[in-house]
Structure 1
Amino acid sequence: MTKKKETKTNEKKKTTRKSGTRKAPAKSASASKGKNTSPPSEINQGPIALLILLLLVVGTGVAAHLFFKPFQRDISLAGNKEISSPVPRIHKEPRVIKPEKAVAVLEKTVKIPEIPTQDEIKIPTYEVFPKKELERERLRPVKEKHPDKPVLAIIIDDMGYDPGIAEAFMALDIPLTFSVLPHSPHGVRIANRAHERGYEVMLHLPMQPVEYPRIHPGPGALLLSMDPDEVIAALRHNLSAIPHIRGVNNHMGSALTASEPHINQIFTVLKKENFFFIDSRTAADSRGRSAARMFQLPFAERDVFLDHIQHKDAVKLELDRLLRIADKHGNALGIGHPHRVTLEGLQRILPEAKDRYRFVYASEFVAFVE
């Protein structure tokens, strides 16, 4: 009996030990689960994967943007510097338009809005008029196709800033010559439109006035400080800036037109390119006539500034004076500017003047100086 009891006791102890050994791992597993003692590699795998995915997405987007991004670049004529050019240039290469060659219209006809007021469009006050009328010996009359009528030529200077007023002058339906400032904001557009409608175009060439530098002639100005190469380069650049030009007249220039070397340099180019020159006569000692005689360049001189005083009564007096000169000498050349008062003055005289006078373009007015 005793042996049997001891045997049962020993079996119970073994069973207790076995059950104890079995429960210990379960207890340690629950404890380790509460303390979150997982290996470090399992913790960091999630954020690293997200970071790699984010970098791939961003890199793909940047690469696509750079690959498909449109570029609009234009190389400046002055050097290798790149500048943005959202609007294509009409003239990509400098060129000089010779009068005897037909020139295609570079711009389609566009509908011009009503003439804006002077307050709506800021036109720079460029012109400098002589303080008094300059006395001179008149050139011989131009050859007339209709000798029974005096000849009138009218040039409208300073074009390039107001397409609306330019369209209104074209509506007068008489031969007018539009002299366009180089590098003006609407110069090319106005020149194209005038050429398309059969009007004549000139270059209004900026030149240094006596009042310089207090008064600057504007972009493209020829200055006394320029050497011959600079004068010729600037002149050719200006000639290439406006299409369809057949001749040139000076814008300001009371100082430069009195310089014989500078005028000779200018006339050398004009003669080569078969242009004529009209002296606006802003200086009493202008060398234009003598240079025209030497180079045998077709030439003329202004008789009257129509609107140096912008008042309707003053414009009327100048228009009457222009007609009297034409009656006396058989021809007269007037220069006006894109002002409303000038437009209205021409509108008043034209109904009668169209019958009494023959209006011609500037190219028909010029002659060789004897």
Structure 2
Amino acid sequence: LGNGVNGYIENQINSLANPQVITVLRNTNGKKMNQDQLQASMQNMAANPQAMFLKNQDLNRLKNIADVAKVQPGYSIAAYKINYQDKVQSGTNLNSWSKAYTTNSIKKGHVPHANQIVLNKQQAIQLAGAKHYQRLLNQTVTITFNWVNDDGQPTQSTRAVKVVGFTSGVSATTAMSYQTIKSMLNESGASTQPNYAAVSVKSLDRVDKTATKINNLRDIKTNKQILGAITVGSMLKTVNTYVQLATIVLAAIAGISLLVSALMIIVTMYMSVSERTKEIGVLRALGERKVDIRRLFTAESLFIGFFAAILALVLAYGAQLILNHELYHLIKYDIVQISLGNVLFALVSALLIAFLAALLPARRAARLNPIKALAAD
């Protein structure tokens, strides 16, 4: 189940956000920042937008990093308002569309071009109602947001744009093209410096190393870190950490059954020794050694463990088929995934538990006095 949940989360995030694209932000404190701190600085930029601006030399340094295929400057605007007829809706995080997003996040419509916008589905519902929000498609709305000019003075940008799509899910966002936002900033006399960059990496297996190189870029004069990288993989790691924690808790609860099984094998083997005392005496009289008696009962216990593991795996695979069949139409994903590692772990742990559980009963059987054993009823 843990395998399936991790796989499902990864599948959902990768289908809505491009795992081959790194989001690069200004590192505002000059020290190493984790993903949460970088995102927090992005959310708090409304108080001081200039602090997040990326310079041309920053973009050039990103382009010169090995394995970087493309660098797209972008805008992320902390707050804005959308007017439609007599309704006004306030929103957060207006973004320029980049390769960081996938078309899968657009549930209806298409990617925004010049003077076009895609709306978060929830915003569309607030503007037009839950039943009629799709009527906004191809309608004109007015968007307004505040920015600053090169002197740090506040400015306001406004433009009528056409709604061409709706986003929903994990990466639901309100977005316009980079050129449209830049044009709006130009018209209002605001600074057109971007405040983030979408860095496309040539291959998926080089994303983490490229992100590390970006994090290690330093200011030549102060030697402080100047940029921070956010990757889909890093977000996945954070989510999967909690999933793994839940998996461990469930496994620990299930592990109680291993303790019970060990106790049951011990009881079974002790009963076997008691019931077969005369048989043990006969075997000893025929020349079997103590070690042979121990091996006999240990082997029997291992057979119990082995066949128990086989039965458990058959039941587990059966449960997997049933659950995946019943749930697939809801989530379009096989939520239970038994791996080869799980199978090997089940076999090894079953044999190990059976072996340990047999040690004491086998030792007791081997130490029986052959004469008393033969005389036993």
TM-score under structure 2 normalisation? 0.25
Greater C-alpha radius of gyration: 1
Bigger proportion of residues as helix: 2
Bigger proportion of residues as strand: 2
